[in-house]
Amino acid sequence: MVCMQDMKKESCSQTTFDLLFYEMKQAMMNAHPQDNVTVGSMIQEDLYNVLAAMLRQEEEYECHDYLEFDDTKIDETCRTKMTEWVFQVVDCTRLQRETASVSMSYLDRFMCTSSPTAKKARLDRKEYQLVVLTTLYIATKIFEPFAMDASLVSKLSRGVHSEEEIIALEYEILVALQWKVNGKLTSPLHYCICTLCLK
């Protein structure tokens, strides 16, 4: 366990890393008490590498609060309504709820970029709705066993946004996100720890 003196000496991120490493190791060893020797020796290097990779990925997928930007007309109420709508669509179509979370992660990360459409969407709620539709479309294509057709996504907007607009924006979003679309959850570390504890 990391002692208080070590915590003062180390950087915050290193301390967090060490605490996560210790907690995950304990969870795995408690989950497999009969294999403590094997798990204990195997876990040191593998778990350290997994945690380091996950922390790097989380830093790459980090975004800023675009609701605080000076040039935005989008507020918390607008984002909340769109989030609720995305979850309703996911629930009605029996998609995984995680797909909705991933979609909102794409939305938030895209809205922080310098993309012309992101700038426009911060000023125009109709454009913001198009971005929300398109990020759901992308998340569905990546994380669901079947792809949601762009024409269906257009129908979800009640014809406000065309199939062509959605397909064109898909590419712009992917480029703006630098094609980094494989983050499974907004907090993969939390997911990993929960999974280990449940085994």
Going 64 to 84 to 101 to 173, the CA torsion angle's sign is negative
Of residues 152, 149, 108, 156, the one with CA closest to residue 128: 108
pLDDT at 28: 62
Confirm if 150 and 134 have CB atoms less than 8 A apart: no
Does pTM surpass 0.85? no
Q: Which token pair is 175? A: 């480029």
pLDDT at 8: 38
pLDDT at 35: 55
Q: What is the mean pLDDT of each run of 10 residues along the chain (199 residues)?
A: 37 58 65 55 66 69 69 85 94 90 92 90 93 95 88 90 95 91 59 54
